[in-house]
A and B are shown apart, each in its own frame.
Chain A
């Protein structure tokens, strides 16, 4: 694959998919949070946008469908359930598979394409079912009831009167009227977008406007490539059509469905003009007769007498329009007529007497609780949209509207209205019934000052949003993050490794120049250059090492879910605390940590933490605590798993180890408690039977030990009975370059890792004593065993002493025990790149690997721990 854009896409997509997966799980755990849903949407949206750059229509389609589903979750019209989680996780799995295929071959398998298309249409079906089925509609309506404050407020006055009139006409004719607010992202120009062009091409556009969403403080420093323009558009189009048109900026648009009453806003000068009271009376009388021609003529006569800029004139224009839609428009005409008299903004439905309302109802001046009115309002909106759906769905929706109204009235114990509702069975009947009920008590809702408040609040919110956006946009400029393929870093790492090794050959060469050719000055100069190169190489190595550092959080991340899952399964209550997850270590080290860590956490949960009742009996808090801790100590990363469970009983461990034949009777007597705890890491100790009898640790502890050993780490355990256990892993921060001591035995060179060496000493033959068949020596008052490398490696050559009859001894620290290893010669130290033994030799654990030396020779690096056990 040589398309760098595609490569970048693959790298990013993998990252996005991982994050998406995490959020989906988090959502399931923590319940839906707006923040998470927004983040989720943003990720999928970006992924979709990126995929659109390439010719993978199936992928884009599936992502688009997923995005729509997430959008529904985000706007609250769908609830996040495990069913939806499954759908989304599956969709993301498919995308993941597609990315893998693209990475492998640059194209998609036909079968994967098919799966993606299938999944996309499945989601689409799910969405449309969710939208239309009776159950879902009801759910949605209930949702809106729950959150009455989320009613959108839009300043309809920005739309000119003639446009609003066209909108009202369209609404009466059952056409879909939408207001679309488009707030393009700031950096859209860089993506080659032209929001104005997109807006201009909006299907069935009726009206539009643009405005700056930010104040320009200083014109000189204006960033002309930052988009700060917002657009409002009115279109006669279904949501789906608009969403299709704005499909790539769905997160930047908001669609508002206006209602007739919101659009009829008379405007103008409230002073002057003739007296209208008589007209209102007359007109009201005429309305009852319902002759449209007469009504219009009467209106025109008055309109001619009134200056067009007057408030009344505006009311008259609206009434003239509304006459065309009698009798549906009756409520609005009456509202406007009242407004002409009072000059108050019209309130539609504030009717004293209407031609439909039965007198007895109004006489009692019945009131309906605000909440119920809200239900009615919502149902009215539902009915307004009903004209655009198919006949079968209409019935379903009608049924749901009916049930909602019935429930609301039952709840408010309004038996009279309930009875009347039961007699209604057509859409028209129910619609007028709703209007009628809404008119009963309107003082309680839609007060003008309330609307203003909402608007103000919204404005503040917008500002905050913008600030946030700019914050996000600014971040990359301060710390630029470069995404690089992992293999490239690995290559760099290998190269610097080679360089480190090669530079060592300079040292050999300088020695050779000195000894063989006796060019002392030249040799000296070479050494000087070597030291410079050495320094640069070390710095470079350090820099590359930094690049490979990743936080341990990458491993810790998976634990909340694991702990929750296991503790639930075991019926235990556990709180997980994570500390120092930002601690960084080499990628390989962090990755190597993952498996042993799972073992440890699982053990803590299974054997450490007691069931709640046992904890209560012991006087401990019911909820157990597991702490995952990471910190850096010098050049090592230390990771701990601490629990406040039942701890490990050293006596039982000793006993068991003795029974298993792992320790002698003598050791059984002598072993200190701390030492006894370490027995759990012995291979033979780890059997299921033991661990269950002990109700403590044991399962897989030797696995943990061997993993840690492999990466040159250590593991230790401390435990107090009934207080808890702490297991500490310590691993090198990095393991790319090893520092070794070079020694010679039987004319062969070997490397021994520096971190196991305590010191090098020379010991006279006579100083070696044999106790109980073990050769020992006393080193500064301490008795240490002496072993011969030649014997250990079975080289078949006797050890060599120096001219003074002294042995060269390496004092090693192996599993907290000191031991002296006799070698023939010390040859100094070297930095090497340790390569594991290949193929069938990988089983030889005695050597941790090989390295190529500066002179081209191969060095075997000994694993001291194995060396001791080997004997």
Chain B
């Protein structure tokens, strides 16, 4: 599973596909201060990226430099 959901923290790993968007969305709706750990994540699908823009969770940035650059801005 590329998505692991804990109480206030979601952990994204490797490649996060569009299938993960729905559970993540449900989780975002429930959690007040969401935190997403992306340390081991290398790519997120656009649908997930959209959720990040909408819910603006606190991000633990990925090791993947390419993705990190996109998340923090070039």
- A-to-B contact residues, CB < 8 Å: 160, 163, 184, 189, 194-197, 200, 206-212, 216, 219-220, 222, 224-225, 227-229
- Picked from A194, A211, A222, the residue with its CB within 8 Å of the CB of B46 is A194
Q: What residues of chain B lie closer than 8 Å to A210, measured between beta carbons?
A: 49, 53, 70
* B24-60 interface bits toward A, Cβ cutoff 8 Å, 1 = contact, 0 = none: 0100010000000000000111110111011000000
B4 within 8 A of A: no
Q: How many angstroms from the CA of A656 to the CA of B56 in the assembled complex?
A: 89
**CA separation between A228 and B67, bound complex, in Å?**
20
- B45: which of A196, A208, A209, A216 is its contact (CB, 8 Å)? A196
A222-B54, A227-B50, A229-B50 known; A209 vs B43 contact (CB < 8 Å):
no
Whether the pair A194, B29 counts as a contact (CB closer than 8 A) is no
Task: Give, as a whole number of angstroms, the nearest-CB distance from A653 to chain B.
Answer: 73
Residue numbers in A under 8 Å from B50 (CB-CB): 212, 224, 227-229
A228 / chain B contacts, CB cutoff of 8 Å = 50
Give CA–CA (A220, B54) in the complex, Å: 12
Complex Cα–Cα for A207 and B49 (A): 17
Q: What's the least CB distance linking A156 to chain B, in Å?
A: 15
Partner of A212, one of B44, B53, B66, B67: B53
Chain A residues contacting B49 (CB-CB under 8 Å) are: 196, 210, 229
With known contacts A212-B53, A219-B54, A224-B22, A189–B74 Cβ distance under 8 A: no
Do A209 and B74 touch across chains, with their CB atoms under 8 A apart? Answer: yes
- Let me know if B51 and A224 touch, CB within 8 A: yes
Q: In whole Å, how far is B13's beta carbon from the nearest beta carbon of chain A? A: 17
Question: Is B21 in contact with chain A by the CB < 8 A criterion?
Answer: yes
Q: Which of B44, B50, B54, B66 has the most CB of A within 10 A?
A: B50
21 pairs across A/B with beta carbons < 8 Å?
A: A189-B47, A194-B18, A196-B43, A197-B43, A197-B46, A200-B43, A200-B66, A200-B67, A200-B70, A206-B74, A209-B74, A210-B49, A210-B53, A212-B50, A212-B54, A224-B22, A225-B21, A227-B47, A228-B50, A229-B46, A229-B50
The CA of A220 and the CA of B26, in the complex, are separated in Å by 10
Give the distance in Å from the alpha carbon of A209 to the alpha carbon of B49 in the complex.
Answer: 12
| Supplied contacts A194-B45, A227-B46, 16 more A-B pairs, CB within 8 Å | A160-B74, A163-B74, A194-B18, A196-B49, A197-B43, A197-B46, A200-B43, A200-B70, A206-B74, A208-B74, A210-B53, A211-B53, A212-B53, A220-B29, A224-B47, A229-B50
Cβ contact within 8 Å between B45 and A229: no
Q: Are B29 and A219 in contact (CB under 8 A)?
A: yes
- For A189, what are the chain B residues with a Cβ–Cβ distance below 8 Å? 18, 45-47
Q: Which 7 A-B pairs have the closest CB atoms?
A: A196-B46, A207-B74, A195-B46, A224-B25, A224-B21, A194-B45, A229-B50
List the A residue with the shortest CB-CB distance to B43: A197
Closest residue on chain B to residue A234 by CB atoms: B74
CA distance A208 to B73 in the complex (A): 8
Measured in the bound complex, the distance between the Cα atoms of B19 and A553 in whole Å is 45
Nearest B residue to A219 via CB reads B54
A225 cross-chain contacts in B, Cβ below 8 A: 18, 21, 47
**Cα distance A200–B69 when bound, in Å?**
10
Q: How far is the CA of A239 from the CA of B31 in the complex (A)?
A: 45
Residue of A nearest to B28 (CB): A219
Report the bound CA distance from A206 to B54 in whole Å: 26
Are A196 and B44 in contact, with the CB atoms below 8 A? yes
Contact residue among A184, A208, A220, A229 (Cβ-Cβ distance under 8 Å from B53): A229
**Cα distance A434–B45 when bound, in Å?**
47
> Which residues of A sit under 8 angstroms from B53, Cβ to Cβ?
210-212, 229
Query: In the docked arrangement, what's the CA distance between A197 and B44, Å?
Result: 8
Query: In the bound complex, how far is the Cα of B73 from the Cα of A701, in angstroms?
Result: 76
Residues of chain A within 8 A of B67, CB atoms compared: 200
**A208 in complex: contacting residue of B18, B25, B43, B70, CB < 8 Å:** B70
A220 to B43, CA, bound (A): 26
Nearest to A198 among chain B residues (CB) is B46
CA A194 – CA B43 in complex, angstroms?
Answer: 11
- Give the residue name and chain of the B residue nearest to A205 (CB): B74
Residues in A neighbouring B70, C-beta threshold 8 A: 196, 200, 208, 210
For residue B55, give the distance in angstroms from its CB to the closest CB of chain A: 8
Chain A residue at smallest Cβ distance from B53: A212
Report the minimal beta-carbon distance from A470 to chain B, rounded to whole angstroms.
16
CA of A219 to CA of B28 in the docked complex: distance in angstroms?
Answer: 10
Query: What's the least CB distance linking B64 to chain A, in Å?
Result: 10
Q: In whole angstroms, what is the CA distance A184 to B43 when docked?
A: 18
Contacts of A229 in B (CB 8 A): 46, 49-50, 53
Kindly state the separation between the CA atoms of A195 and B54 in the bound complex, as whole angstroms.
17
How far apart are A739's CB and chain B's nearest CB, in angstroms? 57
Q: Which of A197, A200, A216, A222 contacts B25 (CB 8 A)?
A: A222
Contacts of B54 in A (CB 8 A): 212, 216, 219, 222
Q: For residue B73, which residues in chain A have a CB less than 8 angstroms away from its CB?
A: 160, 209
Residues in A with CB closer than 8 Å to B45 are 189, 194, 196-197
**A residues in contact with B22, CB < 8 Å:** 224
- Chain B contacts for A208, CB-based, 8 A: 70, 74
Chain B nearest Cβ from A252, distance in angstroms: 13
A212 to B46 alpha-carbon distance, docked (Å): 11
Measured in the bound complex, the distance between the Cα atoms of B22 and A219 in whole Å is 13
- Once the chains are docked, how many angstroms separate the CA of A218 from the CA of B44? 24
Task: Give Cα A42 to B50, complex, Å.
Answer: 26
* Docked pose: A160 CA to B69 CA in angstroms: 14
| A613-B67 Cα distance, complex, nearest whole Å | 76
| Chain B residues whose CB sits within 8 angstroms of the CB of A227 once the complex forms | 46-47, 50
With both chains docked as a complex, state the minimum distance between the C-beta of A174 and any C-beta of chain B, in angstroms.
Answer: 23
Smallest CB separation, A745 vs chain B (Å): 74
Residues of chain A contacted by B25 (CB below 8 angstroms):
222, 224
Inside 8 A of A195's CB, which chain B residues have their CB? 46
- How far apart sit A225 and B67, CA to CA, in the bound complex (Å)? 22
| Closest B residue by C-beta to A227 | B46
Task: Report the minimum CB–CB distance from B3 to chain A (whole Å).
Answer: 14
> Nearest Cβ distance between residue A259 and chain B, in whole angstroms?
21
Instruction: Name the B residues within 8 Å of A216 (CB-CB).
Output: 54
> Are A184 and B46 within 8 A (Cβ)?
yes
| B21 CB → nearest A CB, Å | 5
Collect the chain A residues with CB atoms within 8 Å of residue B29's CB. 219-220
Q: Which residue of chain B has the shortest Cβ distance to A201 in the bound complex?
A: B66
Cβ contacts under 8 Å, B47 to chain A: 189, 224-225, 227
- Chain A residue nearest in CB terms to B15: A197
Bound complex: CA of A222 vs CA of B29, how far in Å?
A: 11
Of residues A209, A211, A224, A228, which shows the largest number of chain B Cβ atoms within 10 Å of its Cβ? Answer: A224
Tell me, rounded to whole Å, the shortest Cβ–Cβ distance linking A347 to chain B: 28
Q: How far is the CA of A222 from the CA of B25 in the complex (A)?
A: 9
Q: Which B residues are CB-close (under 8 A) to A211? A: 53
> Which residues on the B side are within 8 Å of A206 (C-beta)?
74
A651 to chain B, nearest CB (A): 78
Chain B CB within 10 Å, residue with most, of A163, A189, A194, A210: A194
Given the complex of chains A and B, what is the CA–CA distance between A160 and B74 in angstroms?
8
With a CB–CB cut-off of 8 A, which chain B residues contact A212?
Answer: 50, 53-54
Distance of A197 Cα from B42 Cα, bound (Å)? 11
- How many angstroms from the CA of A727 to the CA of B51 in the assembled complex? 65
A179 shortest CB reach to chain B, Å: 13
A217 to chain B minimum Cβ distance, whole angstroms, is 11
CB distance from A254 to the nearest CB of B (A): 18
* B44 surroundings in chain A (CB, below 8 A): 196
Bound together, the chains give a CA A189 to CA B66 distance in angstroms of 22
Q: Closest CB of chain B to A688's CB: distance in Å?
A: 69
How far, in whole Å, are A28 and B39 apart by their CA atoms in the complex? 58
Q: Which of B45, B47, B51, B53 is the most central at the interface, judged by chain A CB atoms within 10 Å of its CB?
A: B47
Residues in A neighbouring B21, C-beta threshold 8 A: 224-225
Complex alpha-carbon distance, A163 and B51, angstroms = 27
Residue of B18, B51, B67 most packed against chain A (CB within 10 A) = B18
Taken together as a complex, chains A and B put the C-alpha atoms of A687 and B57 apart, in Å, by 85
Most buried by A among B22, B46, B67: B46
